[in-house]
Each structure stands twice: as C-alpha cells, then as structure tokens.
Amino acid sequence: MTTIRQILAGKPEIYSIAPEATVFEALGLMEEKNVGALLVIKAEQLVGIFSERDYARRMILQGRTSRETPVHEVMTSKVFVITPDTTSGECMMHMTDRHIRHLPVVDAGRVVGVISIGDVVRSVIDDLRFTVRQLESYIKSGG
C-alpha cells in the first residue's frame, strides 16, 4: 500500500499562515492556492489548522467578521497528525473516524506536508487498480 511519503513526493508545497493573521487573509490565501485548509505555524511549530469547516462553524454561524478575527481564535488547535510512513489506507481510516479532511504530516517534530482526503482517495484507488491488475494477471496465467 502507498505511504504518505510517496504521496508527498508529488506535493512539494506546504501552505500555512501565522496565528495572528486575519481570517480574511487566510481565506485569500486558500482561494489563491485552491486549497481547503491551511496549517497554522508559529516559530516553525504546528499550532493548528484552519479549514473551510472552521470558517463556516466558527465565523459565519457565530456572526464574526473575517477582517477583524485572528486565525488563532477560530482554528482547530487539537490537530491529529500522521508520519510519512503512514499508509493511505490508515489515513482513510483516521479521516473517516475523526471526520476530518486534512492531515498534517510530521517527521521528527517537523512539518513536512499535508494530505487531503482527495489525495488519500486517489492513492487508495490506484492501489486497488494495481491489485486488480495483479489478480487478473494471476488468473490469466493459470494461477
């Protein structure tokens, strides 16, 4: 099964924002980079994640304004992380169980990437296609 290290090889950039930045700035960066979440980094340490879900639940529903609210007030601060050696199948399980769409990847205490549910689904589908091809080949060869 594919590991997160393999997936990250095709995703060189990490999009992040400072906790003091405004939600408006975060939304602008998310739109510019076409991503659904940003890692919140302070002094090279992961302190949270800000997602579209955070915006909907903690901004819109609470009547806050994005130009005045700092990211740290509405981000998710208890962040579940994975390592590069985690498999895509394990990620899918964690994402499903925790109802999350983005997983920061941490190696030796350093953020090395972020994986989205879309990355994981593509990887799992590729793994399944490979397995099907192997089984078809085995069956055609007479087992």
Amino acid at 139: I
Write down the pLDDT at residue 106: 97
What is this structure's pTM? Answer: 0.86
Q: What pLDDT band is residue 113 in, cutting at 50, 70 and 90?
A: very high
Average pLDDT, the chain: 93
Predicted confidence (pLDDT) at residue 112 exceeds the cutoff of 70:
yes
